[in-house]
Structure formats: C-alpha cells, structure tokens
Amino acid sequence: MKRPGPTTTATVWKVRGTRPMQEPDRLAAEEPMEIRVESDARDQRETTSLSVTMRTPGNDFELAAGFLFTEGIVARKRDITRIEYCTDPGVAQEYNIVSVVLHPDVEFRADRLARHFYMSSSCGVCGKTALEAVRVAIRDPIPKNGPLLDPKMIVGIPERLRKDQALFSETGGLHAAGLFDAAGQLSSLREDVGRHNAVDKVVGEAFLAGRTPLAKTVLAVSGRSSFEILQKAAVAGIPFVIAVGAPSSLAVAIAEEFGMTLVGFARGDRFNIYAGRDRIVNLAG
C-alpha cells in the first residue's frame, strides 16, 4: 500500500463573479490513525487499541509518541522501545495503524487510562476533576523563571508561525503548532487538520529527540487554546503559550494552577494576557 501524503488534489469549480471555471485544487488530507500500545508488563504481552484520531498523514510516529507523553503514559524517551506501522497480514490500511512498544519497566493499565481520557476530553467534566487529572500526569514542574518575552517578540511569533506554514499555504486548511525560544527563533513546526494533533506532533518530535521537558520554550498555536492544548503544554513542561485565538475558561484555569503564561488573540500588534503576566517584560506602566 502506498503511504498517504499530507495533501491531495481535487477538481473544483472556482467561481469569479458569476463565471465558473473548473480547476485543480489542493486539499489537506484527513485520514484516521489508530494508536496501539504493546506492553510486556507482568511478563505478558498485551496489545491495546488506545486511540483513533483523524489526522493529516505525516510525522505519524511523532504524533503517537507525543500523544502518549502528553497523556502521561510515558515520561522519557527510553520508555518506548520502538514505534512502527502495523504489519499484521491482511490489514489493508497499515499506514493508518501505529504500534508503540513500551519498555517492560513501564506500567500500563488500560482500565485506568480509559477514565483518564474521559476526564481529559469530556465537556461535562468539572474543572476541579480535570485539573486533578493534569496534576497526576505532570512529572516535571513548570519553571518559575522565564522565558521572558517583550510585547514585540510576542506579536512577532504568530507572524513567524504563519509564514512557515508550508502546507497551509497550499491548502488553507491546517492548524499549526510551533516551538520557539526566548529570542523568538523557531525550532520546530508541525501542521495537522487537528489542533491537538499538531501539538502532539511538535512535542513528540522533541520527546523522541530527548529534549523534554521543554522548560525554556514557547508554544505557539494557530487557533484557539483549549483545555487539551494547555494540558499537553503543562505535561511537556512548557511555561509559555501563545494562541492566535481565544482561550477556554478551563485553559485559563490550567495556566493559573500550574504557573504558566497564557496569551490569546495575538494578532497584529495586540494580545490579551490571561495568566502569568510576570513573564512579559517591558510593558508600559
């Protein structure tokens, strides 16, 4: 089977005024990806279908690793023995199934995990319960000092993120997540149809390279900042999050609870500070 790419081509009718013209168009690809976990704990190999997510194909191993890390299943690179595409005979969509083999020392309990995912994603869960779930998953505390950014740097980061979104330029249909340093330099960027997937991919890349926790980095996202995005940032040890869109109330609660800086509506020369004002320097008054 041919490995799917991040974009595809479709023939569409483009209308200018009242005149239709049939032309090719680039679309962002969207396909399901199943994440399976293989565990050797208690001398018994177990395979668990952990999650199915709709994603843009590409950087699939980073997505799987980032998901397991930000959900608190693994803590260090050595916790994963290997990551591979499914090679089961008779499986037609092998590039849409990723298997993560855990180190035998990693304790994996699928029954506990089901409850954790429910708390992480359910819109009916109370804030207190959700914050407790994040607290359990965090292994490295958020640093209190830095990174420090001034307003000019903050408004420049979303512009840099947008400029480097190559797939968005082709399709206009992808979210992005990028990691920056305190000087505003972009170190990594990933795109996906799902904003949470984009964060998992960029965090997963750092995790597999042994660069976590990301205590000196700034996470920038192209859309709004939800509970899940702040949860993933907190688990990764990221102290500073900049979003082009609005935050949710629970995202603000996480930032306040764990001492993170959260900026939203970062567009043009404006932005709102929702938490962690002390990391922003050179503010007038």
Query: One-letter amino acid identity for 98?
Result: V
Phi, psi of 178 (to 5 degrees): -135, 150
Q: What is the Cα–Cα distance from 35 to 53, expressed in whole angstroms?
A: 8
Q: What is the Cα–Cα distance from 190 to 178, expressed in whole angstroms?
A: 7
Beta-strand relationship, 240-243 and 261-267: parallel
DSSP line for 25-56: EEEE--EEEEEEEEE-GGG--EEEEEEEEEE-
In this structure, what DSSP letter does residue 237 have? T
Closest residue by Cα to residue 41 from 73, 6, 14:
73
Instruction: Describe the strand order of the beta sheet including 186-192 as a list of residue ranges.
Output: 186-192, 175-180, 218-221, 240-243, 261-267, 270-275
Residues ≥6 apart with Cβ < 8 Å to 161: 176, 178, 186, 189, 220, 222
In three-state secondary structure terms, 183 is: coil
Instruction: Give me the active site residues, please.
Output: 123
In three-state secondary structure terms, 184 is: coil
